[in-house]
Amino acid sequence: MSSYVNCSIEQAQNIADFKGVFILGEQRDGKIGAITFELLTWGRGIADELGCELGCVLLGDEIENMQEVIQRGADKVFFIQDPIFKNFLTQPYSNAITRLVNEEKPEIIIAGATTTGRTVMPLVTAKCHTGLTADCTELTIDPETKLLLQTRPAIGGNIMATIKTPGTRPQMATVRPRSAKQADIDTNRTGEIIVKKYEGSTIMTVEKFLEFIKDTTQAVSIEEADVIIAGGKGMKNAAGFKMIEELAELMGAAVGATRDAVELGWSTYPHQIGLSGKTVSPKLIISAGISGKIQYLAGMQTADVIVAINKDPEAQIFKVADFGIVGDVFEVVPMLIETVKKMKAKA
């Protein structure tokens, strides 16, 4: 089910002055993040459909290999450079991006629904007096109006709402990580790297970066994992969920969890998959004791291979599964654990 919503804040704007598509790239410790290359896939497709240039905005102090951003699809890289941008700080980031938007006037801006994108984009939107659609799963161009159609789950994931911003610019959206493949490298592509240096109030802030605390509950982020073993409320208790963790460790996989499992304290938020958690796209995901509510499915249904284990043959999870095992997780999962142990012992 889909519905259309107009998102518009009236202001004095000459919409014809806005041209081109921007993506908001991300970096950490001077290395460009994978989300940047995924956004290039979204941005390049939209820019090609509109027949315009694609720009990538990067903020930092020193960033490695910005030429790769051009090789993966950008026509221009706008590098906003200052030591204050080495680590993410809300105020200077939002000020600098807003200033660049006022200078360059892009028609569309796309960011990742990451910690950075979810924090800074609402501020930029407010400063630019325009609209923002968060956590999109699809971005397309209306063939008649050429407006950006921004599709996202709504009302608890029960409908897909398609939102338009007809009255103001830029049209802004965030998309979930792993919702698109990383753009391929074309070493023959050429483009321009434009360095911007802002001073004064643009980079002033009362914020201070103290330290980065790494998540030690997982060796590999579930967003980057090739294999995920996920457990839900059907694991019954924390002791039952330990089987998910044991199987994941044996298989060298990441541990995933439903919102219910996290709220019950069996796992932690960095492992949560779904609309209110992470979007994953592994090569293999095994979902045990998970019924398959839309909130969970929206976060994992792009996996290459989906295996479901549930004692209810009518469970929603089987509608998206490539392989289904109808059985009690407390019988099936221990069998899988013993099988993997035997295989590893032989190897």
Q: Look at residue 2 in the predicted model and tell me its pLDDT.
A: 47
170: cis peptide before it, omega within 30°?
yes
Q: Look at residue 160 in the predicted model and tell me its pLDDT.
A: 81
Q: In the chain, what are the domain boundaries?
A: 2-202, 227-346
Q: What is the mean pLDDT of the chain?
A: 92
Q: Look at residue 6 in the predicted model and tell me its pLDDT.
A: 55
Report the 3 state secondary structure along 298-338: CCCCCCCEEEEEECCCCCHHHHCCCEEEECCHHHHHHHHHH
Domain 2-202 has CATH 2.40.37.10: no
DSSP state of 169: S
Instruction: Label residue 8 by pLDDT band (50, 70, 90).
Output: very low
Cβ contacts of 257-262, under 8 Å, gap ≥ 24? 257/230, 257/231, 257/232, 258/230, 258/231, 258/232, 258/233, 258/290, 258/293, 258/296, 259/295, 259/296, 260/232, 260/233, 261/231, 261/232, 261/233, 261/235
Q: Look at residue 211 in the predicted model and tell me its pLDDT.
A: 86
What whole-number distance in Å separates Cα of residue 186 and Cα of residue 75?
A: 12
Instruction: Label residue 277 by pLDDT band (50, 70, 90).
Output: confident
- Write the pLDDT tens digit of every residue in 226-251: 999 999 999 999 999 999 999 999 99
Q: Look at residue 5 in the predicted model and tell me its pLDDT.
A: 52
| Beta pairing class for 2-6 and 159-164 | parallel
Instruction: Label residue 276 by pLDDT band (50, 70, 90).
Output: confident
Q: Look at residue 158 in the predicted model and tell me its pLDDT.
A: 65
227-346 folds as Rossmann fold (3.40.50)
Per-residue CA distances from 181 to 38, 84, 300 (Å): 6, 31, 14
- Write the pLDDT tens digit of every residue in 296-323: 998 898 889 999 999 999 999 999 999 9
| Residue 22 and residue 47 in contact, taking contact as beta carbons nearer than 8 Å | no
3-state SS class at 156 = coil
Please tell me if the domain spanning 2-202 has the same topology as the one spanning 227-346. yes
From edge to edge, which strands make up the β-sheet containing 148-154?
Answer: 2-6, 159-164, 148-154, 138-141
Q: Look at residue 295 in the predicted model and tell me its pLDDT.
A: 85
Instruction: Label residue 144 by pLDDT band (50, 70, 90).
Output: very high
Q: Look at residue 92 in the predicted model and tell me its pLDDT.
A: 96
- Write the pLDDT tens digit of every residue in 184-208: 999 999 999 999 999 988 988 888 8
Q: Look at residue 278 in the predicted model and tell me its pLDDT.
A: 87
pLDDT for residue 11 is more than 50: no
